[in-house]
Amino acid sequence: MNDLPIIPPTDGQVSPRYAGLTTFARLPRREDAAQHDLAIVGVPFDSGVTFRPGARFGPGAIREASRLLRPYNPALDAAPFAAGQVVDAGDIDCNPFDIGAALDQIEAGISDLVQGGKPVMILGGDHTIALASLRALHREHGPLALVHFDAHLDTWGPYFDTPVTHGTPFRVAIEEGLLLKSHSAHVGIRGSLYSADDLRDDEELGFTIVHAREFHTTPFLDILERIRMRVGDAPLFISIDIDVLDPAHAPGTGTPEAGGLTSRELLELVRGLAGSRLVGADVVEVAPAYDHASITAVAAAHCAYDLVTIMAQQLRGGRAG
């Protein structure tokens, strides 16, 4: 961490939160700070979707919804923006017509932000982008543990002869050796599948699954402990597809599935992973064209805020007071 004075977010008691630049939580832009310890970056890419498009507009919607965030996080008893220099690095420019070229651009952009082991918070975009993020972070940390919050497995094979889409990133990540098989989990899985083979294939790839229906039959803290034990002390990437939430809590997404988590459940799961070696995270699949009253974007912004808080706690202890 650098020793330069920290540039804080714009003070909401001086400038109304609806005014000024729309950076995440009204943080300084990367170009406004000499150095950074933790970056938030947008990836406005959705050319890998298989149903409703529109997640390319997700980063902007999440940033707009984050205007209401304040500098102290009481749920984690932390002041994340005082723990180190947190910046909004803007968006990574990526080719909207060529998935392979876009992944290379995203990987390069994230690699630039995480040099030296700096953590990164990524705002998507569709879930295809997770593969590029994992490639960049693997270069810094080696194989990673993954906690993947989603309605869908995202370990399917090629779709219409396209090897990488938003339904394939974690299969490819396993095949490339980016993930630790014994330390990775899906959480919130539900909905129809092509066949029972989808579950068997996923198990063979090394994942464990916490199905959404388990939240009705298993104590919440037991589920959380199961996830924490799975991660262990490995470097961790948390990937949140916002469709892990029930459509009542996240209508603005491309592939909604009934029977999902509540926003409260998701936030408590994320907070329960505090203390893990969190090196990076993303929140993806926010498609604001289908959103109502910014319900989805608000949920995504709060998830990102808690993830940033956990990463910031690793910079300087991150404690308030």
**Is 73 in a helix, a strand, or coil?**
strand
- What is the dihedral sign for C-alpha 167, 88, 292, 272? positive
Rounded to 5°, the CA angle 82-301-228 comes to 80
pTM: 0.96
Q: How many other C-beta atoms are found inside a 10 Å radius of the C-beta of residue 170?
A: 28
Does residue 134 contact residue 237 with C-beta atoms inside 8 Å?
yes
What pLDDT band is residue 1 in, cutting at 50, 70 and 90? low
Domain annotation for the chain: domains and CATH numbers:
24-316 (3.40.800.10)
- The per-residue pLDDT for 320 is 40
**Is 140 in a helix, a strand, or coil?**
helix
- The per-residue pLDDT for 234 is 97
Which range, of 12-16, 164-168, 233-237, 317-321, averages the lowest pLDDT?
A: 317-321
Helix (H) or strand (E) holding 193: none
What's the start-to-end Cα distance of the chain, in Å?
20
pLDDT digits (tens, 9 = 90+) for 36-64: 999 999 999 999 999 999 999 999 999 99
Q: Is the pLDDT of residue 317 over 60?
A: no
Which residues are CB-contacts of 5 (< 8 A; sequence separation ≥ 6)? none
- The per-residue pLDDT for 318 is 44
Which residues are CB-contacts of 51 (< 8 A; sequence separation ≥ 6)? 254, 255
Tokens 């990133």 sit at which residue? 169
Q: Is the pLDDT of residue 186 over 90?
A: yes
Does residue 147 contact residue 123 with C-beta atoms inside 8 Å?
no
- What is the dihedral sign for C-alpha 135, 136, 140, 144? negative
Per the prediction, the chain carries an average pLDDT of: 96
Rounded to 5°, the CA angle 248-288-303 comes to 65
Query: Within 13 Å, how many C-alpha atoms sit on residue 243's CB side?
Result: 28
pLDDT digits (tens, 9 = 90+) for 229-251: 999 999 999 999 999 999 999 99
